[in-house]
Amino acid sequence: DVKVTQSSRYLVKRTGEKVFLECVQDMDHENMFWYRQDPGLGLRLIYFSYDVKMKEKGDIPEGYSVSREKKERFSLILESASTNQTSMYLCASTLGREGTDTQYFGPGTRLTVL
């Protein structure tokens, strides 16, 4: 059974703070993704990674960076958090590198930036 975990379910940070969101998958998956989910906007891709130390921009990368030092771990970094980054953040992974592979999601981190 695929397990994708995220470091926190809820997080409250202040404007300007550096924020780290971590995602870990235990099934040796190749691709990992970070999305944000906002009401009425669906799931929007921030960044994804198809290999260790590799990253690709998604549709809304501004204000975010990522790190993938180990295959099982993909971190999302908010260098200087702003209130418009208050959102639900979802991590996902896929077994292979094909876009048709099933995405397995983590439980999400609800981030509030005050």
Partner 1 sequence: GENVEQHPSTLSVQEGDSAVIKCTYSDSASNYFPWYKQELGKRPQLIIDIRSNVGEKKDQRIAVTLNKTAKHFSLHITETQPEDSAVYFCAALGWGTDKLIFGTGTRLQVFP
Instruction: Assess 40 for contact with partner 1 (CB under 8 A).
Output: yes
Separation CA 2–CA 28 (nearest Å): 10
Separation CA 91–CA 56 (nearest Å): 15
Residue 108 · residue 23 · CB < 8 Å:
no
Range in contact with partner 1 (rule: CB under 8 A) among 15-23, 44-52, 64-72, 77-85:
44-52
Per-residue interface string for the shown chain with partner 1, residues 4-23, x marking contact by CB under 8 A: x-------------------
Q: Which of 43, 60, 77, 95 binds partner 1 (CB under 8 A)?
A: 43
Q: Which residues of 56-78 are buried (b: 16+ CB within 10 A; e: fewer)?
A: eebeeeeebebbbeeebebbbeb
Q: Which of 34, 48, 64, 89 binds partner 1 (CB under 8 A)?
A: 48
* Interacting residues with partner 1 (CB under 8 A): 4, 31, 35, 40-45, 48, 50, 58-59, 90, 97-100, 102-103, 105-108
